[in-house]
Amino acid sequence: MTASAFRRRAPRASASNAVGARWGCVYALITRHDLTGEIGVGYVGETTDLEARLAQHALQPFADRIVRVVLAGQGVWTEAHRKGLEKHYIRHGVTVPGVTGGRPQRPWFNVDHNRDNPNRILPWDAIRYRQAREPGWQPQIGWQRRLVTIPTVPQGPMPRRVVVWCWRQCKAAGGRAARWCWRSLLRWLRRKARRRR
């Protein structure tokens, strides 16, 4: 054997010794399904501060359906590694002993990376189900950036600051919601202009 065969290989760069690595976890919220009442994986997320993240979930429509929290993984990882694990668990499912029957289950309430999940509960449906369970419940501002409502504007000429505010809300929504929001605002402005003539 040559000397090169005994040469020690350099360790692969792992997430734990990379620059910017810190403790984090990927978690699954075990929830009760809104329609069937079945208990399963409701949401998968990643965080470096689990307590603060769970406090944020208290504002979401499925907060009253959470049964428990399960850690799918934890370690000293970079942000990219945590997000990659989260994406993997959303797309391929999480196996939770005693809950999923030994097979991976994809989450019901995740939006990103979960659009092709046939069992997914859409955000507006989750809000509707929560309002049916708890009449008068309203989603908190900023709960989800994709759900935007057109503000009620007083009659008369529209001040520039209102148009700027509407534009910022539409941009924050992103995607189709932003286009719908902006088109609705423009339609409203055109109707107002026709009425003034």
For 157-180, how does the pLDDT look when each residue is reduced to its tens digit (9 = 90+)? 555 666 666 667 666 666 666 667
Could you give the C-alpha distances from 95 to 34, 107, 114, in angstroms and in order? 20, 11, 16
Instruction: Answer yes or no: do 24 and 104 share one domain.
Output: yes
Query: Are 34 and 118 within one domain?
Result: yes
Containing structural domain, residue 158: 145-197
Instruction: Tell whether 4 is covered by a domain.
Output: no
Average pLDDT over every residue of 8-24: 60
Q: Are residues 20 and 107 in the same domain?
A: yes
Q: 59-114 pLDDT, tens per residue?
A: 889 999 999 999 988 999 899 999 999 999 999 988 888 887 788 899 999 998 99
Residue 39, φ and ψ in degrees, nearest 5: -95, 130
| 182 and 113 share one domain | no
Residues 102, 166, single domain; the answer is no
51 and 128 in a single domain? The answer is: yes
**Same-domain check for residues 80 and 170:** no
Q: How many CA atoms lie within 13 A of 44 on its CB side?
A: 29
Q: Please check the confidence at residue 152 and state whether its pLDDT lies above 70.
A: no
Backbone angles phi, psi at 127, to 5 degrees: -65, -45
In a domain, 27, yes or no: yes
User: Are residue 119 and residue 169 in the same domain, yes or no?
Assistant: no
- Do residues 94 and 126 both lie within one domain? yes
Residue 70 carries which DSSP code?
Answer: E
**117 assigned to some structural domain:** yes
Does a structural domain hold residue 140?
no
* Confidence at 34, pLDDT banded by 50, 70, 90: confident
Q: What is the pLDDT of residue 21?
A: 86
Mean pLDDT confidence for 4-15: 38
Q: Is the predicted pLDDT of residue 48 greater than 60, yes or no?
A: yes
* In a domain? residue 138: no
Residue 156 forms part of a structural domain: yes
Claim to verify: residue 129 and residue 151 sit in the same structural domain: no
Query: Is residue 8 a part of any domain in this protein?
Result: no
- pLDDT at residue 5 above 50? no
Domain count for the chain, please give it: 2
Same domain, 31 and 71: yes
* Residue percentage of the chain with pLDDT more than 70: 68
Of 70, 80, 63, residue with least CA distance to 27: 70
Higher pLDDT, 185 or 43: 43
pLDDT at 146: 47
Question: Are residues 101 and 113 in contact, defined by beta-carbon separation less than 8 angstroms?
Answer: no
Give me the mean pLDDT over the 39-45 stretch. Answer: 92
Residues 144/124, Cβ–Cβ less than 8 Å? no
The answer on 89 and 43 residing in a single domain is: yes
pLDDT in the model for residue 7? 34
Q: What percentage of the chain's residues is helix, strand, coil (to nearest 5)? A: 40, 15, 45
Domain for residue 139, yes or no? no
pTM over 0.75: no
